Chains A and B, each alone.
Chain A
Amino acid sequence: MDKIQVLLALSVALFAVGLLGVVIRRNMLVMLMCMELMLNGVNLSLVTFSHQLGSTVGAVLVFLIFVVATAEIAIAIPIVLMLVRQKHTLDINTFTNLKG
């Protein structure tokens, strides 16, 4: 198992932990942070491939992902603030207005 394989395995693990966090945690802010963790896992695999292939494409994509992550947080946080003002809780199970 060489270095690149370890890094790819780590990126798979980070993505999976983030996904699991989004599915099983109930706190909205924790779910948002787990989404960031998923983006970090993807970034790691992009940097690894970019490093291994000697190509700048992966690094460029990582920069674009930085921007997307910042924009995601900038939109998600006001939505969370609005939801908290309505129900005074961060528990995701209380927001069931759209449930049929």
Chain B
Amino acid sequence: MIENLLQHLDTLLLYVFAACALLSAVLMLVLRQPMRVAMALISTMVFLGGIYGLLGVHFIAAFQVLIYVGAVMVFMVYVIMLLEVRESAGTGRFSTLVIPGTIATILFVGALGYGVWHGYPALIKAAAGARFGIAQFSISFLTEYWLHFELTSVLLVVAVVAALAVIKVSRRAHG
């Protein structure tokens, strides 16, 4: 039994990680404090990184942890600590759109789930197996997709300039 378990350990771990990721995503919806929501999002991201690692794309797992958890979420946590706006006790955590939003989301999940369940293409099942490593990824990234790679640097420069512009407008408005 133990050998059987060890044989399917990666599949089992994948299911456990998937369940944990979904659980912490749902926790994001119900927790009140932004800091706890950030922690739930971080755990979702780490579990997703584990799933990527189990799928064999280790470099994406590493970048998921480094970029998302290490950069984006640390920035987010800093902003939460910086703002520290106390919400008054009377305000609820949900807006007035709870019921229509939930109904619409259930319909959306139903439609998408129907698509995943029934329209699951045979093509994807057929083409299973071919793994690629970071070498193939890097080669195709810097030969086929070099233009996109360069365009992302333009996007980052635009983002930095836009953030500076927003701060400048805000300074002018407040003197």
Interface residues of B (CB under 8 A from A): 11, 14-15, 18, 21-22, 25-26, 28-29, 34, 37-38, 41, 44-45, 48, 51-52, 55-57, 59-60, 63-64, 67-68, 71-73, 75-76, 79-80, 82-83, 85, 87, 91-95, 97-98, 101-102, 104-105, 108-109, 112-113, 116-117, 120, 124-125, 127-132, 136-137, 140-141, 145, 148, 152, 155-156, 158-160, 162-163, 166-167, 169-170, 173-174
12 A-B residue pairs with Cβ-Cβ distance under 8 Å, sorted by A, are A4-B125, A8-B120, A14-B25, A20-B29, A26-B95, A29-B83, A40-B45, A56-B141, A59-B60, A60-B145, A68-B152, A71-B156
How many A-B pairs have beta carbons closer than 8 Å: the answer is 221
Question: Which A residues fall within an 8 A CB radius of B?
Answer: 3-10, 12-21, 23-27, 29-30, 32-34, 36-37, 40, 43-44, 47-57, 59-60, 62-64, 66-71, 73-75, 77-82, 84-86, 88-93
Q: Inside 8 A of A21's CB, which chain B residues have their CB? A: 28-29
